[in-house]
Structure 1
Amino acid sequence: MSTDLSSTPPGSPGAPASDKLDRHVLVIAGVVVLGAIMSILDITVVSVALETFQREFDATTAQVAWTMTAYTLALASVIPLTGWASDRFGTKRLYLIAIVLFSAGSALCAAATSLEMLVAFRVVQGLGGGMLVPLGMTILTRAAGPERLGRVMAVMGVPMLLGPIFGPILGGALIDNASWHWIFLINVPIGVATIVYAAIVLPKDDVEPSETFDWLGMVLLSPGLAAFLYGVSTIPETGTILDAEVLVPAIIGLLLIAAFVPWALSRRNAHPLVDLRLFQNFTLTIAVIAMALFAMAFFGASLLFPLYFQQVRGEGALDAGLLLAPQGLGAMLVMPLAGVLTDRIGPGKIVLVGVAVITVGMGMFATLDAETSYYFLTGALFVMGLGMGATMMPIMTAALQTLRGHTVARGSTLLNIVQQVAASIGTAIFSVLLTNGVKNEADPTALALGEIEDESQLRAFLEQTGIPAEQLPTILRDLTDDLAGVFSGTFWIAAAMVAVVLVPAFFLPRKPPAEPVDQTALMGH
């Protein structure tokens, strides 16, 4: 039976100042959401501009992919520094610095005149963007307290869940109606507004004497993460994990990360860059495992949806993005309710239901073919959106509810590292599954035919292969059926991977949060 927190007198043990989010918390949440929107949207907005970059800079697919990779690597590299830096400089100062970096990087990207300049300025963007989400989570957690954390995490979840859905729509619209420069320029006025907003409403920093900086940890972990993620991000291009371009950086990265672990746990290291002693907290450990499995399965599989609409159903990038909108609608409907229920009955039951619903929706997509009704597919996306709204943010809430003091910043940093790495691994897994499935199932001649873009190429192809023109519709129809079969099989794997999240979700708390754990005492600091 759930407890009515609204009947608990304010100020009593375990009670929030108010059952509802007060104006102060909502105003702070507005700042955080603006920053997160810029950071997360920018990852997906740029994804639809890659073909434009190829034409603009006369570059190959692999070369323009660096506009995505450079941002991701910079973002991942700076996340470990965020926990220490927020303790050292204060969350408000660091948040303002991150917004300035991101906005300046955006303006520089829009002014880039070569691909090399664009990639370099994307690094500047990533350095700012990497700090925004973990900092935002820390600011919100401290403002709301553990008893209302579910609700503020639901607010934070809006950009985190909807960014990947609406980013391609916004990117496609800006490129079609303006130019590629505007996918970066749009961040500048939002950044300026966020800086002014944050300077006014965020509470003044009360910075304690600084902890010593873990220089060795930075030398090991940040390059280790960057090298590992670079290797992983190269897998889709090579089509195999056994390529030297994948193995060399990935192994170097793993060795550096492995060397960081004993150093982070060493008694000589009082203030590690990323505090692995947090794993002494059982709830946080289970939540991190659940987050890793969920991010790998769901965010990895998310690339399949627009690809199906584009490659099998022949939709353009903008239309494919619009077809994904029901997923965002489902998430928006459920997220506020899931936040309230997480605070009242604990995250465990909410996450179990959310994961089960996503599994059903993914299973619906796994039954598709080349002519499946759009009503059925958008319905499946809506169902998955309902599950999304009850899954990711309650998992994060489960982890952060148990923390207080400086461990909040360290916990949010740890969660964001895990999510970033797991999502990258999941993307690589599903890219390889899809690519290899197409190679194994589709006729090479039909694939070559499917890539033809103009009439002169088609005439040359027919002359070279000797295929009668009247056979083309049959060949293309067979190709479409084969591709649909590959997507269906890959979605079955995705559904199974999402279902695995039910295992750690079973161990998440099923009651409202008690007094936060004094993690400092647990770790003997």
Structure 2
Amino acid sequence: MAQTRADESLAGNDDRRLPLELLKVAGVVLLGMLLMQLDGTMVSIALDKLVREMSVPVSTVQWVVTAYLLALMVGMPIAGWAADRFGTRTMWNFSLVTFLVGSLLCGLSNSVWMLIAARVVQGLGGGMMAPVGQAMLVRVGGIERRARLVSLMAVPAVVGPTLGPVMGGIIVDHLSWRWMFFVNLPIGLITFLLAGRAMPNLKASGSAGLDALGVVLLVPGLVAIVYGLSQATTVGFGGAQVIVALSVGVAMVAAFAMHAARPNIDALVSMHLFKYRGFATSSVLLLLLGLTMGAGFVDPLFLQQVRSESALGAGLLLVPAGVGSALASLSMGRVFNRIGPMRVGTVGLACAIIGRLIFTQFDANTSNLVIVVAMFVTGVGFGMMVLAMTTALYIGLPPEQLSRATSGSRVFQQVGLSAGTAVIGVVLQFQLTRQQNATPDGSPGLDALAHAYNNTFWWSVAFLALAIVPTVLLPRRMLDGTVPEKEKEAESAPTRPEGA
């Protein structure tokens, strides 16, 4: 009976307007996350120009991206503990200022090595910013508004990668590459000023000290894994540095898992969180969806190499994916509590698989309409999946674990993105080499190139197929699972800000 009343209460709140104070907090968080997403996607467009202007090889310039990814992995695991210890607004502002300082140093860089060092500073700030902002919204909004807020948080994640390449192309073509970093400063300053007025400084009661052993094991382990995966895109998984990095990284992460599973340990990411069905299934799905989204860098390459689209033309053809994802996430957020994570996730997964299956049939003569439809359907699927898994992630969790759970989920997603990029990069190179070897002059035609990309697209379908089992295991309702009633009541109660 209590469960039924709770479900009806949640469903009844779906269509209520979000309070103004909550919208202010959400607006600041979304602006900061969009800033980070745009920056991360614009930089890849400028790599070729950096090679020419700085007179350095591609292998060196690639570290502009790699250093940022490695720094992200340093900031993410400690973000949850830091937010609990020092307060959400304090850590949000700290991470935002760190990101902006890094942006300024990037724009002022007079050598590639100074640029790489500045990107490390940027990555440290960005790695903390997203999990702190997401955890703050989850804690402030309460369980009945969680789906609506998660649907809003999904918007920067899809708008950034969609608009970033287009904006980056315009800046690189008409301005200096430095403006990709300078443009962050006025937007970031506005975000910082708004944060001081809108954001609460929430702290966890009785926050424990930093898990020093966990930091020593987890942070270097994740950095080693991401480094190994990034190097695999150029030397393959058989390269010595890749094997050593991945082996060391996996060993250190496994040691952390054993450490975090011990009783009475307040770990950076507690292994005890996996006893909650929502967290366990969502973490697996975030990893698998990260694999698929990491493989998405192949899409613009296909459009440029097989269909001879310009950088701007390819970017515009990618826009429907972002539009579909944003529309699906925002519309489903209003009815999510009535439908439940499992149903939303299942429909989303079906749409994503259908969209990627259409990709496997692309060739040089595929019409723009077919490409737009495939992009849009895939985007709808991704939007629904992200909404389902990100909302289910928190079901039943004690309030004091929300920040740690958010940091942990971001780690799973980032590792998935890195692994997907590495695996698909190796697969695509293998397929292109095979097509080159099959032609007498080593120059495959458009049909052969399309075939190589088709075979690569099938890997995205396979990644999504692996997600079927964890998707159907998602909780069916927002309060699904065996959670003590007092924990549900505590989670639904508003969080008390510092000084209240």
Instruction: Provide the rounded CA distance (Å) in 2 between the counterparts of 1:156 and 1:55.
Output: 37
In the TM superposition, what are the counterparts of 1:93-172 in structure 2 within 5 Å?
93-172=90-169
Q: What is the TM-score normalised by the length of structure 2?
A: 0.92
Name the counterpart of 1:276.
Answer: 271
Decide which of 374, 388, 391 is 1:397's aligned counterpart. Answer: 391
* CA deviations over 1:268-311 (Å, ceiling 9, x no partner): x52112212101112210111122112112x1221111010111
Deviations 1:361-386 (A, max 9, x none): 11111111122111111111111112
Residues 404, 516 of structure 1: 8 Å contact kept: no
Letter matched to residue 457 of structure 2: F
Q: Report how far residue 208 of structure 1 moved.
A: 3.5
How far does residue 23 in structure 1 lie from its aligned partner after superposition? Answer: 1.5
The match for 1:303 among 275, 297, 308 is 297
How far does residue 423 in structure 1 lie from its aligned partner after superposition? 1.1
Give CA-to-partner distance per residue, 1:102-152, whole Å, 9 cap, x none. 011001100000000000000000000001111111011011111211110
Alignment of 1:97-496 (within 5 A): 97-206=94-203, 208-238=205-235, 240-267=236-263, 270-297=265-292, 299-443=293-437, 478-496=444-462
> Aligned partners of 2:427, 2:49: CA distance in 1, in Å?
27
Q: Secondary structure at the match of 1:513?
A: coil
Q: Which amino acid aligns with 1:383?
A: V
Contact 2:14 2:145 in 1 (8 A): no
Q: Is the 8 A contact 2:14 2:334 kept in 1?
A: no
The Cα shift of 1:206 comes to 4.5
Task: Give the letter aligned to residue 263 of structure 1.
Answer: H
Q: What is the deviation of 1:517?
A: 4.3
Higher radius of gyration, 1 or 2: 1
Moved more, 139-148 or 512-521: 512-521
Alpha-carbon distance in structure 1 between the residues aligned to 2:21 and 2:101? 29
Shift of residue 159 of structure 1? 0.8
Which deviations, in whole Å up to 9, do the C-alpha atoms of 1:457-499 show, x marking residues without a partner?
xxxxxxxxxxxxxxxxxx6xx5221110011111122123213
Question: Is contact 1:347–1:510 with CA below 8 Å preserved after alignment?
Answer: yes
C-alpha displacement of 1:516:
9.7
Q: Does 1:498 align with 2:464?
A: yes
Q: 1: CA distance between counterparts of 2:16 and 2:398?
A: 20
CA contact (8 A) 2:398 2:487 kept: no
Conserved 8 A contact 1:365-1:488: yes
Q: Partner of 1:464 in structure 2?
A: none
Q: Deviation per CA, 1:147-169: give whole Å up to 9, x if none.
A: 21111001000011222222111
Q: Secondary structure at the match of 2:399?
A: coil
Does the CA-based 8 Å contact 1:264-1:275 persist in structure 2?
A: yes
Contact 1:169/1:322, CA 8 A, preserved across alignment? yes
What residue in structure 1 maps to residue 494 of structure 2? none
Displacement after TM superposition at 1:520 (Å): 11
Q: Output the aligned Cα RMSD.
A: 2.5
Q: In structure 2, the residue corresponding to 1:98 is in which secondary structure?
A: helix
State the shift of 1:39 in Å: 1.7
Q: C-alpha offsets along residues 378-434 of structure 1, whole Å, 9 cap, x if unaligned?
A: 111111112122111221101123324221001101100000001111111111111
Which secondary structure state, in structure 2, belongs to the residue aligned with residue 400 of structure 1? coil
* Pair 185,519 (structure 1): closer, same or farther in 2 beyond 3 Å: farther
Q: Which residue of 2 aligns with 1:45?
A: 42
TM-score, normalised to structure 1, is 0.88
Distance 1:97 1:431 in 2: 35
Per-residue CA shift, 1:12-40, capped at 9, x if unaligned? Answer: x9976983322222111101101111222
* Corresponding residue for residue 498 of structure 2: none
Q: 5+ unaligned residues in a row in structure 1: which ranges?
A: 449-474
Report SS of the residue matched to 2:363: coil
Identity of aligned residues (%): 37
Q: 1:301 to 1:485 in 2, by over 3 A?
A: same
Contact in 2 for aligned 1:345/1:511 (Cα 8 Å): yes
Q: For residue 130 of structure 1, what is the amino acid of its counterpart? A: G
The answer to whether the 8 Å contact 2:88/2:201 transfers is no
